[in-house]
């Protein structure tokens, strides 16, 4: 994909996420790796109205080169690229159900999203819970660096989901899958749920390597 195509794809997916109420207001931010750095959605931008020519372009060290200034949550994105050499894109949303899940006090911090369907295991993997830090804080970086080598997706406590993918589009798909799974988990929370067994999860993990 050329940089022009990638810029257009980021705007198209941004609009789609916004129109489906997955990134209300100016929340949520997107990034993608390019040959000589990164493209990132601008600070205070609405994902529904991104312009290809105004996306922030950064050098390989994350320094702003041109376009609008990047999202304040840039440290979160850069930590994924630093820890996962295969990372081609990062999607961070404040989508309702994954964010609601991130606010619950009784989650397993190592495995916050139960494997209720094979798709969350295949496309998202095991999701740890990252301790709360204020949005945009660089204090989130060591928490992400510690988890990202083994996990492509995380829930930020009381904040929302962040998902890395081998491509920008794969990151979007995984973020959508995480949101759908969070919805199922919350809808069935007071019911007698039968999650996939550890053996079935291991089988899927062996079949569908996320990296
Ligand atoms: Zn955020």
Domain-wise residue ranges, the chain: 3-207
Dist. CA 198 → ligand 1 center (Å):
32
pLDDT band, very low/low/confident/very high, at 209 (cuts 50, 70, 90) = low
Catalytic residue among 5, 8, 51, 73: 73
Dist. CA 195 → ligand 1 center (Å):
29
Give CB contacts under 8 A, 24+ apart, made by 32-36: 32/6, 32/88, 32/89, 32/90, 32/167, 32/168, 33/81, 33/87, 33/88, 33/89, 34/3, 34/6, 35/3, 36/60
Sequential DSSP letters for 155-169:
EETTTEEEEEESSHH
Specify the CATH superfamily of domain 3-207.
Class II aldolase/adducin N-terminal domain (3.40.225.10)
Residue 93 clears pLDDT 60, i.e. is over it: yes
Instruction: Give CA angle at 165 (159, 167), nearest 5°.
Output: 130
Residue 81 appears among annotated catalytic residues: no
Pairing of strands 56-58, 37-40: antiparallel
Catalytic residue among 119, 132, 203, 205: 119
Dist. CA 128 → ligand 1 center (Å):
17
Dist. CA 43 → ligand 1 center (Å):
11
Average pLDDT over residues 51-73: 97
Tell me what pLDDT residue 210 has. 54
Average pLDDT over residues 43-50: 97
Q: Give CA–CA dist 168/32, Å, rounded.
A: 6
Q: What is the pLDDT of residues 124-161, one digit of tens each?
A: 999 999 999 999 899 999 999 999 999 999 999 999 99
Output DSSP code: residue 23. Answer: S
Dist. CA 17 → ligand 1 center (Å):
15
Dist. CA 155 → ligand 1 center (Å):
11
Worst-scoring range by mean pLDDT, 42-46, 61-65, 135-139?
A: 135-139
pLDDT band, very low/low/confident/very high, at 211 (cuts 50, 70, 90) = very low
The neighbourhood of ligand 1, an ion, using CB within 5 A, equals: 135
Dist. CA 197 → ligand 1 center (Å):
33
Tokens linked to 130? 């990252």
Q: What is the pTM of this model?
A: 0.95
Residue 73 appears among annotated catalytic residues: yes
Sequential DSSP letters for 114-174:
---SHHHHHHT---PEEPP--TT-TTHHHHHHHHTTT-SEEEETTTEEEEEESSHHHHHHH
């Amino acid at each position: 994909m050329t940089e022009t195509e990638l810029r257009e794809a980021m705007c198209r997916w941004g609009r789609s996420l916004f129109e489906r109420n997955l990134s209300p207001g100016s929340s949520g931010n997107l990034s993608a790796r390019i040959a000589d750095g990164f493209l990132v959605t601008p600070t205070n931008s609405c994902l529904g109205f991104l312009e290809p020519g105004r996306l922030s372009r950064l050098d390989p060290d994350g320094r702003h080169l041109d376009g609008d200034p990047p999202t304040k949550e840039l440290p979160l994105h850069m930590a994924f690229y630093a820890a996962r050499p295969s990372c081609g894109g990062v999607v961070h949303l404040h989508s309702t159900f994954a964010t609601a899940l991130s606010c619950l006090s009784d989650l397993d911090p190592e495995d916050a999203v139960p494997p209720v369907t094979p798709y969350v295991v295949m496309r998202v993997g095991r999701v740890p819970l990252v301790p709360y830090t204020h949005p945009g804080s660089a204090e989130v970086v060591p928490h992400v660096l510690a988890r990202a080598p083994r996990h492509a997706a995380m829930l930020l406590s009381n904040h929302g989901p962040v998902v890395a993918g081998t491509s920008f589009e794969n990151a979007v798909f995984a973020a959508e899958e995480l949101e759908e799974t969070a919805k199922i988990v919350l809808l069935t929370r007071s019911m007698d749920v039968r999650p996939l067994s550890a053996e079935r999860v291991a089988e899927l993990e062996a079949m569908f390597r996320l990296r």
